[in-house]
Structure 1
Amino acid sequence: MKLRRFLLRYYPPGIILEYQRRNGDIETKSIDLLTLSPESDVDALVDQIILEEPLLSDSKKDVVRKMIYKLMDKLDGHNRSRKFYLYKILRAHILPLTNCAFNKSGSKFITGSYDRTCRVWDTMTGDELVSLEGHRNVVYALAFNNPFGDKIITGSFDKTARIWDAESGQCLHVLVGHTTEIVCVAFSPRGTVAATGSMDRTAKLWSVDTGAIIATLEG
């Protein structure tokens, strides 16, 4: 088989190889690039394509690289012409995420994960501001104390909830009382009371100032 030329396929993204068989027939073969994004590692992708595609040799790396960049430019322009488009991808947690929440202004957001941490992020830059560490199991539920945004509550499969200082990452209180996983958390509008819900079929109200239980709701 002899490679004749490359063709670009924009949607869905891919590269078409036109080649000639020994009998003279002209055929095409598709290299699908369905996961291509502005954050893709182009050099690694080129190496993978060259390794897996018998029609291509190392001498074609520059051609493949240029075609991938053309595809990325086209996809990026297409996304930005829409009302909504992919803004940023953050990969910091080492295990799957469970939840996320913004503060009221949208300047920060938090993520929870199976890696037992909650992380605070700057929305504009994507920088990690602080990592909240201390839970011994999955961090499943989380919330800011909006509209203030200076405290965070997290609920975990370790049966505890924690209240944190959103700026420093300091743990202010460990809320102990549930007998199974905590699956939902919230602050009251004034930020003085925190609520937790658990798989133990109860909800509890807590003092944000002291961390003490105010009430247990059953039934």
Structure 2
Amino acid sequence: MKLKRFLLRYYPPGIILEYEQGGKVKRKCIDLLQLQKDTNIEIVLGEIAAREPLISPHRLDQVRALIAKLRERLEPDYKKFSLFKIMKAHLLPLTNLAFNKPGSQFITGSYDRTCKVWDTSTGEEIHTLEGHGNVVYTISFNNPYGDKIATGSFDKTCKLWSAATGKCMFTLKGHTGEVVSVGFHPTSSTVSTGSMDTTAKLWNATTGEELCTLIGHTGEIITLSYNTDGTQLLTGSFDHTVSIWDTETGKKLMGLDEHTEEISSAQFNFTGDMVATGSLDKTCNLWDIRTGKVIANLANHEDEVLDVSFDWAGAKLVTASSDTTGYIYDVRSREPLYRLEGHNGEVSKAMFNPQGTRILTTSSDKSARVWDVNSGLCTQILEGHTDDIFSCAFNYDGDMIITGSKDNTCRLWRHHV
């Protein structure tokens, strides 16, 4: 084996080794999930050198510099976000939005049956993706590549588009109900769709061919996501359950069925050994995927849990609820650290920034809020929308935010240093 070069992954921090073996170029990743701003670099370097034969002594200075670079990116000096531009994006309310990985473009879906592609640096529209016969409800870039876009619609189809040209590549037909969730495999080889017809489907993202149908739920599938290496797909349903599927065979691996009401949100942690589920039964469950058992029932909310999200390290979890609050939990102790209080309407979305230092929430009170993870305090209120804010996103560097509202606009916010 011969080491060719190093690549960096900032969030979560990791060093990717590209090496040659048997005439083929391969990659392996050294995950540094425990890296902190005050981590002793020499200790980490020693641990890596002891367990990784590809890294010879003459490479240690290079690795030391890479660890230092990763550590520096963990605590950006962001103070406040300011409004950069208001996009009067659609004729009817927005449904969803998303950045590509570099943050150079973002997309918006709408009840007006279109998806629009926007230039982040200027706030100008690049493409309008037209062709659906009903609401464009769910949208996704094939990150980290960002050259394809998937749109799922109430017209029961999913369309795959070229991000560069805005042209439709394939229309994926086969569902008998509205398509309400889409997601790309981490390698962009397949795209998954979840539908109100109670099934999910896997499709070849290069040819548009249907690969398999995931049958087993008895209610609408409203959320789906892949684990980090793409070997498993998670589906959450109105039938109160979550299922985990093998993406190679399409076979169901396990069902998670302790909730008593509809699932609202479900997510793998980065290492793929744990799942968090939010439910209209007012609780969030943490599951050990190795056993399929609940390891914690988080029942601090007084109303429906609408969203759940891990930080990149899987050390913390945030929940959002109809009771106008959120909670930050310590995953290891399963204890609540902070209650996020301040909104006066339901909190529909909550997410960590890529660094894991801030949380962004959106609410029906027409505002979004930024919170400090280490204190639970609100550091900024993003105001100006004139109707419910139901969707939001950080870019990969965490220095930009998009908010989408029922007022038919989205707003782009940039940080002050």
**105, 112, 115: which is aligned to 1:115?**
112
CA distance in 1, matches of 2:89, 2:107: 12
The one-letter code matched in structure 2 to 1:159 is K
User: Could you say which residue in structure 1 is the equivalent of 2:156?
Assistant: 159
Aligned to 2:166: 169
Instruction: Provide the TM-score with structure 2 as the length reference.
Output: 0.33
Cα deviation for residue 102 of structure 1 reads 0.3
| Cα displacement (A) at 1:210 | 1.1
Q: Which residue of 2 aligns with 1:58?
A: none
2:196 pairs with one of 196, 199, 206: 199
What is the Cα deviation at residue 82 of structure 1?
Answer: 5.8
The structure with more helix, counted as a fraction of residues: 1
CA distance in 1, matches of 2:123, 2:163: 16
TM superposition shift of 1:86: 1.9
Partners of 1:148 and 1:108 in 2: CA distance? 12
The residue identity in structure 2 corresponding to 1:102 is F
| In 1, Cα distance between equivalents of 2:81 and 2:101 | 20
1:103 aligns with 2:100: yes
Q: How far off its partner does 1:84 sit?
A: 1.8
Deviations 1:41-92 (A, max 9, x none): xxxxxxxxxxxxxxxxxxxxxxxxxxxxxxxxxxxxxxxx961222211003
User: How many angstroms apart in 1 are the aligned matches of 2:84 and 2:93?
Assistant: 20
Q: Which residue of 2 aligns with 1:85?
A: 82
Matched, 1:144 2:137: no
**Distance (Å, rounded) in 2 between the aligned partners of 1:215 and 1:98:** 27
* Larger RCO, structures 1/2 (Cα 8 Å, 6+ apart): 2
Work out the CA distance in 2 between the residues paired with 1:153 and 1:192: 13
Determine the structure 2 residue equivalent to 1:128: 125
- 1:143-195 deviation line (CA, Å, top 9, x unaligned): 00111100000000000000000011110000001101010001001101000
TM-score if structure 1 supplies the norm length? Answer: 0.62
Report what 1:181 is aligned to.
178
For 1:89 and 1:180, the matched residues in 2 are separated by 34
Task: State the alpha-carbon separation in 2 of the partners of residues 143 and 179 from structure 1.
Answer: 21
The number of residues matched between the two structures is: 139
Equivalent residue number for residue 77 of structure 1: none
* Whole-Å separation in 2 of the counterparts to 1:180 and 1:159: 5
Alignment partners' CA distance in 2, 1:131 and 1:167: 12
Deviations 1:6-54 (A, max 9, x none): xxxxxxxxxxxxxxxxxxxxxxxxxxxxxxxxxxxxxxxxxxxxxxxxx
Supply the AA of the counterpart residue of 1:114. Y
Which runs of 4 or more aligned residues in structure 1 lie more than 6 Å from their structure 2 counterparts after TM superposition?
none
Aligned alpha-carbon RMSD (Å): 1.2
* Structure with the bigger percentage of strand: 2
Quick one: which amino acid aligns to residue 105 of structure 1?
A: P
SS of 2:82's equivalent? Answer: coil
Structure 1 residue ranges without an equivalent (≥5): 1-80
Larger radius of gyration, structure 1 or 2? 1
- The one-letter code of the counterpart of 1:104 is K
